[in-house]
Structure 1
Amino acid sequence: MTDYKANNNMSKFEKLIPFILYFETGLKREYLKLPLPEMFAMAKKTGYANDPADSGGATMCGVTIATYRAYRKRLGYASTSIDDLKAISFTAWRDILKTMFWDKWKADRIENQSVANILVDFVWASGVNGVKIPQRVLDVEADGVVGPVTLAAVNTHNPEILFSKLHDARICFVEDIVKRKPSQVKFIKGWKRRINCITFQGLKYE
């Protein structure tokens, strides 16, 4: 059994931050070299979106208003407005990514960074489907909760083969969305571009 605490080669969530900001905000590549707080400040300039066709509603740098309300409610805030979302700090955004998405996959314990990247980005983009669909790929109970069995299945699979299966499952998932809701076809090109830029060799910015 892997001793997770002793293994210094586990996945790091900070490596995913530039990728998410790039695809959520159209951040210029030149800003990807900045320290993360400065990168986020630049991303916020183009990070707000509220497309009526997007069921997620208002978002800032990829964080939906529903997610931000859930996060702030946990901190004791009675309400959260669109203006609050627009003013989100890097500290809060980073904490949301870590505690509500990265930790949902217990990704600190995933041994392969590329596998962690595609799993966490999946749950970031698709909610609980980003857990249940990979669980089906792993042939474990698809209960939407990452426990010891799911985590062990991730780490005992050949990482390159697992990554390929997860990639294909994500492509099928977004194609099925468009089949069910043809109005979403406007997003399919961007969805696939993002998925295809998460590779086993690393994250691409194309």
Structure 2
Amino acid sequence: MAKGNFQPALADVLVHEGDYTADPRDPGNWTGGKRGVGVLKGTKKGISAASFPNLDIKNLSDNQIADIYHGKYWVPIRGDDLPAGVDLSTMDYGVNSGVSRSSKDLQRVLGVGVDGRVGPVTLLAAKRADPRIVIKGHCGRRMSFLRSLAIWNTFGKGWSRRVAGVEAKALSWVSSKAQLEADAKAARDKAVAQGGGAAVGTGSGVGVDQAPDMSGLPLWAIVAVVAVIVAPLIIRAIVNAQRASALAKAAKET
């Protein structure tokens, strides 16, 4: 079985994965992988009937769940060989969005060749790098990918909360209490600044001379301009507020 941080990493991943569900509207709950096809077996702790049609999903044991996560995620990312914290961020991203995508973004942060396979070059670069910088960069790239998805507006808040929690937990494995407190303050300051920027974008809380002049535009154009200016700032403010909360919690627990 695994060595290193597999057990604590798995425990953190499973915090974000639900218990047993069998929603017939979800294609992942059917053995055929399509809604209404095959047998409705459900999903448990992120393990779906679509991916494992021959398993009794509802009655999966803790050992079965651990074996699946170990073989499908931990081994491919070379979790036993990655530095502490980096192993968690890489595993959780892989569970959420695929091992290849997670590995590619890790390689981009490390500045090595991008092929989606964690090999000797990637491992050497990871071991030489500052794990705090790698974790933050990796989680930042993960957030950028998630925000690019068409279903971000539906699931974005939950996704960003998960990434914030994983980042904080991963950093707590390689950081002092003081470092985590500083990280929390930096994230909180960013959230405040971005929230203020959103207010400026709407013209609220500022003088008339500071607000953008859109008097000559039709209403639909004004709404579109404000949305383009404000929406990204609001999203960033929410993300950084979530990060600040998760990092502050991690600091208290350190």
TM-score by length of 1: 0.67
- Residues 1:130 and 2:102 are matched in the alignment: yes
Counterparts of 1:87 and 1:114, CA distance in 2: 31
Which sections of structure 2, spanning at least 5 residues, go unmatched?
Answer: 34-41, 174-245
The whole-number CA distance in structure 2 between the counterparts of 1:22 and 1:119 is 16
Give the match for residue 5 of structure 2: 12
- CA distance, structure 2, for counterparts of residue 126 and residue 134 of structure 1: 13
What is the aligned partner in structure 1 of residue 162 from structure 2? 194
Query: Aligned partners of 2:27, 2:116: CA distance in 1, in Å?
Result: 23
AA partner of residue 119 (structure 1): T
1:104 and 1:85 map into 2 onto residues whose CA distance is 23
Aligned-residue offset at 1:171: 0.8
Q: Which runs of 5+ in 1 are unaligned?
A: 1-9, 26-45, 70-79
Q: How many residues align?
A: 159
> Residues of 1 paired with 2:23 and 2:155: CA distance?
14
Residue by residue, what CA displacement relative to the aligned partner does 1:114-167 show, whole Å, maximum 9, x if unpaired? 111111101111112112222222222222211111111211111111111011
The residue type paired with residue 20 of structure 2 is: G
Instruction: Please tell me whether Structure 1 or Structure 2 has the larger radius of gyration of its CA atoms.
Output: 2
Seen in structure 2, the aligned counterparts of structure 1 residues 173 and 50 have a Cα distance that, compared at 3 Å, is: farther
The normalised TM-score by structure 2 is 0.56
- What aligned pairs does 1:1-206 form with structure 2 within 5 A after superposition? 11-25=4-18, 46-48=19-21, 50=23, 52=25, 58-69=42-53, 80=54, 84-111=56-83, 113-127=84-98, 128-177=100-149, 181-182=150-151, 184-198=152-166, 199=168, 200-202=171-173
Letter in 1 for 2:157: K
Give the whole-Å Cα distance in 1 for the aligned partners of 2:154 and 2:86.
28
